[in-house]
């Protein structure tokens, strides 16, 4: 196992921040945003993935 650098993502509708280290909703911990299921929605407001914007904050996840 190693690590990979990935970005956090911000919900532009409610301000929720998806942190790949923690996961959220149907996203398991250590899941990069681009690998979330297609039907994933914001755990706070149920916005779809198109409502999220990449934050320029990089974190490391286990691979």
Question: CA-to-CA distance for 13 and 63, rounded, in angstroms?
Answer: 30
Residue 20: burial class (beta carbons within 10 Å; 0-12, 13-18, 19+): buried
Report whether pLDDT(1) > 80. no
What per-residue confidence (pLDDT) applies to 33? Answer: 97
Domains, the chain = 3-62 (2.20.28.10)
Summarize pLDDT for 5-62 with one digit per residue, the tens: 999 999 999 999 999 999 999 899 999 999 999 999 999 999 999 999 999 888 999 8
What per-residue confidence (pLDDT) applies to 57? Answer: 86
Asked whether the whole model's pTM tops 0.85, one would answer: yes
Question: CA-to-CA distance for 39 and 35, rounded, in angstroms?
Answer: 11
């Amino acid at each position: 196992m190693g690590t990979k650098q990935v970005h956090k993502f911000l919900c532009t509708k409610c301000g929720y921040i998806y942190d790949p280290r923690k996961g959220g909703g149907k996203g398991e911990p250590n899941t990069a945003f681009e690998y979330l299921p297609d039907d994933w929605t914001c755990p706070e407001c149920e916005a779809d993935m198109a409502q999220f914007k990449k934050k320029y904050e990089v974190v490391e996840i286990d691979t």
